[in-house]
Amino acid sequence: MTIRKLAIIGTLTAAGLLAAPARADFERGYQAYDRGDFAAAIMAWRPLADTGDTRAMYNLGVIYDQGKGVERDPAMAVVLWRAAAEKGYAPAQHNLAQALIGGDGVVDRYDEALAWLRKAADQGLARSSYTLGKMYADGLGVKADPSESLRLIATAAEAGFDRAQYNLGKMYRDGAGAAKNPGQAVKWFRAAAEQGYAPAQAALGARYAAGDGVAKDNVEALAWTLIAERQGLPRAATQARTISARMSPDEVARARSRAESWRPNR
């Protein structure tokens, strides 16, 4: 199962509940990280982490996981995420769970990972619901349960998580965990595509090309495929050539114009 860890928590979502001096230190660390001065970020966040601030613990964990400003140390990242997770911080619970699922020499511990993901999901963290859904789909640490997978991934999709929206679209397209529903597949591919998720953009382009769940429209098909190609999605280049081969030069030009003017809805 392909998963990804959360990135650094920024000032707007993380520092609002801190006292004014600590908030200033946290913001200074975030600004340093944002400009690539990782040593300064560590200097700002480490004292806060030492006092038990969960956001600083979490961010330091990301720094150790990424190896920015320090030698990469996934084990130290896990220590920091666990400390913040035990204090109830959902992003740390999520990253700790992902580390426990596997990678970087961490032994797979699915039972514990599931417990942390459920805690984070219960706090409304959409990507934790999504990861739980993928675990139920793949039978990792639990008996495979397509219905529960659908429920959890749908919860994350409805909360706006692009990967969940894309995967929900695939479930409706393929009839995996849900009855095939081309219209619902297009709906969720579009939701993720409009946020800028390249695999969903290519999938939406393919739906327009086939007229499956949406009226056939080669201009829209090529436009969405070109948008995905522009983001470096390998299969989009082949898909774009296939679609453009059956279009007029004017249609191709309109599709390219549409792709060039597109901006993500975030």
Q: Where are the domains of the chain?
A: 1-125, 176-266
Give residues with Cβ within 8 angstroms of 67, minimum separation 6.
73
Contacts 24+ apart (CB under 8 A), 20-27: 22/48, 22/51, 22/53, 26/53, 26/55, 26/56
Of 144, 141, 140, 136, the residue nearest 167 (C-alpha): 136
Is-contact 159 124, C-beta < 8 A? yes
In CATH terms, the superfamily for domain 1-125 is: Tetratricopeptide repeat domain (1.25.40.10)
List pLDDT tens digits, range 171-195: 999 999 999 999 999 999 999 999 9
The pLDDT assigned to 15 comes to 42
The pLDDT assigned to 104 comes to 60
The pLDDT assigned to 266 comes to 74
Q: What is the pTM of this model?
A: 0.89
CA distance 221 to 210: 9
Those residues of the chain that have pLDDT short of 50 are 2-4, 12-16
Residue with tokens 């990469």: 72
